[in-house]
Structure 1
Amino acid sequence: MWRPGTVHPARGSAMPTLVSTSDQPAADQADYWRHLITSAFGPFHLQPAGRGPFAARLVARALGQIEASEVRAPAHAVRRSVRQIHHDSRECYKLGLVLRGSCVLRQNDRQVRVGPGDVVFYDLTRPVEIAFDAHHIFTVVIPHRAVPLSADRMAELGGTLLSDQAGTGRMVASLLAALAEDGGAADEPYAHHLGGAIVELVTGAATEWLGAEPTPSPEAAEMLRAIVDWIETRLHDPGLTPAAIAAAHHISVRQLYRVFQPKGTTVARYIRARRLDHCRRELRDPFLATQRIGAIACRWGLPDAAAFSRAFRAAYGVTPSAYRAAATGIDRVD
């Protein structure tokens, strides 16, 4: 028996996940589809337009931290209530590009008709109603934490057509159309870069629409804390680079730089400063006074002795050996 949760594609997988009602008895297909979309997008009420078979399919694919889906389904209506939202821990935005058919979406006291080529934006943490004709739609689900605008400001966009917006909004529509034409296909490690590009464009479109500058949202602040903690446990690794950090957190390098802006420094400089600080602490530790300076530097991801000495002197105004001598009275342990 199918269980909710199987719709979600595996992180890092190059293969899409296909689910369909075709192998279910006709009388059970609509209810089965309701379970499928609940797994993929959160709880919804679903009302088919008529009785009889409900032939529908969904192909889901992970693109880094976002999820793309291609949906084909007959006419029906869905509604997401305050009660359902309250019992769903997921906090996501959703974009839908209509490829065939149409729908009418209501959110934030707005009602908009979405036809072929249109991209509609809505917030899954706010009530929404959608009435679909028989349709073929390409959707993208983006976690709130991925967008560096406050969730309250982003919620103001619910029920708007991004494709009607000149500039970045139309670029979002063009990128989604290209992805839909390719079936959302992208091999790793390029998939997470595509996801990052979508987030960047959506952020740009939202900024243009709202007239808001990106500011650290609670979600972005939490991501920054998680990244900083992750970095701290890997300072010993000489391969700790912005690209490696971004890949580990399923974001683009550009997104990483943006998340890191509140630190007032670059990612690489932050890593170097943290490594040098750990080295400085150990150089003044009397219990480590006989340990070689090069070994201390290597332990903190700085294996090049000459580069370490230059960086230490630039940061603290003295060489590592001079610093240790002043702090411990040990003249030289190289």
Structure 2
Amino acid sequence: MILSHPLTEYSTAPEIGTPTGWINRVNGEFPTLRISAEQPDFTASYRGAATTQLQISDIATSSHLIERPAKRTDDGLDLFKISFQISGNGTLRQHQHDLQLRPGTITLYDAARPYQIHFENDMRFIVAMFPKSALQLPPGVAGELSAHQLDADDATSRSFGVLLQQLADNLPLLATPAGEQLSRVALDIANSLLSERLEVSQDCTLSEIRRRTLDFIDRQLSNPELSPRLISDSLFISVRSLHNAFEDSGTTVTKWIRERRLTECRHALLEPINASEPIRDIASQFGFGDMSLFSRRFRERFGLTPSDFREEHLRHEVRIPLH
């Protein structure tokens, strides 16, 4: 739970006019971060206030890199951040998601998980930080979210951005009795936006999850990082829900990924246009980075090594049936 505090303001006075001095101050407001900047004349300013449920921070800095350390497990475990970019450009990376930060973008990220934010130039952005429990999402879903952007052209998203900027421009209000009500309004809108964006509803059946998963797998076969975790993060569902969706299908998510990859590799090996294509390149095209593992899996599935399979096909110019 965030402890409420009145308006806090500071800027790059001589004693904090470096990334090190800045981070010493910022780490009093956020879960532990690291900051680095190439330019010697680093500048920054901070204004912030909080209720028991919501902290609003208005930050302006010159270009720099923010990193959430990978091994920090002592803070930020139950917090989300939503950033609203006012000016400047940057990139946020968290759990294999790369998101462009431009004026008007609204981005959700997990304060507990490792992340990087690189700001390319002078920028200003507003950060809303709040407990994950403040989102009224089904159990297991909130904990799976990381690095997702709301539609900047959506009317509700734009209204939410306007509200965040109004709160940032009137931070002393958060320390008044009306502050809790204002924070509740902001969180209600955030909850509505995320529920719509994640398509979380009672109608999201296991068969629908399975259908979406199969489509996602086919689009991501070339990605060597394709896994149940990546799928759950990308489809905004819990890992448990993902596995439950395949419980009665006769296979598992991992086995299906392997089956689709092997099948596509087999088809590629049968194509005359690929006759001179190195087998390693074909395997890599469908997500296999380990050739020995690929050869073993291929032989287990089709009875021949990839090279023998292609040679046999080219010799007889017929398709070898599946067994």
- From the superposition, tell whether residues 106 and 24 of structure 1 become closer, same or farther in structure 2 (CA, over 3 Å): same
Residue 21 of structure 1, CA deviation: 2.6
Q: Write the distance in 1 (CA, Å) between the matches of 2:157 and 2:58.
A: 20
TM-score computed with the length of structure 1 as normaliser: 0.54
Q: Write the distance in 1 (CA, Å) between the matches of 2:3 and 2:111.
A: 22
Q: Which runs of 5+ in 1 are unaligned?
A: 1-8, 215-334
Q: Write the distance in 1 (CA, Å) between the matches of 2:16 and 2:200.
A: 50
2:30 paired with 1:41: yes
2:92 paired with 1:105: yes
Residue 181 of structure 1, CA deviation: 4.0
SS at match of 1:116: coil
Q: Write the distance in 2 (CA, Å) between the matches of 1:141 and 1:160.
A: 15
Query: Which residue number corresponds to residue 313 of structure 2?
Result: none
Q: Is the 8 A contact 1:68 1:184 kept in 2?
A: no
Cα deviation digits, residues 111-147 of structure 1 (max 9, x gap): 1111112111111122211001321111110111222
SS at match of 2:36: strand
Aligned pairs, number: 201
Q: Write the distance in 2 (CA, Å) between the matches of 1:125 and 1:156.
A: 11
Q: Write the distance in 2 (CA, Å) between the matches of 1:61 and 1:95.
A: 15
Query: Which residue number corresponds to residue 82 of structure 2?
Result: 95
TM-score computed with the length of structure 2 as normaliser: 0.56
For residue 192 of structure 2, the aligned residue among 198, 201, 204 is 204
- From the superposition, tell whether residues 34 and 142 of structure 1 become closer, same or farther in structure 2 (CA, over 3 Å): same
2:7 paired with 1:16: yes
- From the superposition, tell whether residues 184 and 49 of structure 1 become closer, same or farther in structure 2 (CA, over 3 Å): farther
Residue 64 of structure 1, CA deviation: 4.1
Query: Which residue number corresponds to residue 258 of structure 2?
Result: none
Residue 157 of structure 1, CA deviation: 4.3
Q: Write the distance in 1 (CA, Å) between the matches of 2:172 and 2:195.
A: 26
Query: Which residue number corresponds to residue 117 of structure 2?
Result: 130
Q: Write the distance in 2 (CA, Å) between the matches of 1:34 and 1:151.
A: 34
State the percentage of identical aligned residues.
21
SS at match of 2:193: helix
Q: Write the distance in 2 (CA, Å) between the matches of 1:139 and 1:97.
A: 6
Cα deviation digits, residues 191-235 of structure 1 (max 9, x gap): 111100111111111110111149xxxxxxxxxxxxxxxxxxxxx
Q: Give the letter for the 2:133 counterpart.
A: R
* 1:37-76 correspondence runs (5 A): 37-50=26-39, 52-76=40-64
Q: Write the distance in 2 (CA, Å) between the matches of 1:179 and 1:69.
A: 9
Q: Give the letter for the 2:84 counterpart.
A: L
- From the superposition, tell whether residues 155 and 104 of structure 1 become closer, same or farther in structure 2 (CA, over 3 Å): farther
Cα deviation digits, residues 71-125 of structure 1 (max 9, x gap): 11111011113202x1325421001111111211012311111111211111112
- From the superposition, tell whether residues 198 and 102 of structure 1 become closer, same or farther in structure 2 (CA, over 3 Å): same
- From the superposition, tell whether residues 130 and 155 of structure 1 become closer, same or farther in structure 2 (CA, over 3 Å): farther
Residue 150 of structure 1, CA deviation: 4.8
Q: Which runs of 5+ in 2 are unaligned?
A: 203-323
2:162 paired with 1:174: yes
* 1:312-331 correspondence runs (5 A): none
SS at match of 1:16: strand
SS at match of 1:201: helix
Query: Which residue number corresponds to residue 115 of structure 1?
Result: 102
- From the superposition, tell whether residues 150 and 127 of structure 1 become closer, same or farther in structure 2 (CA, over 3 Å): farther
Q: Write the distance in 2 (CA, Å) between the matches of 1:156 and 1:168.
A: 23
> What value does the CA root-mean-square deviation take over the aligned residues?
2.6
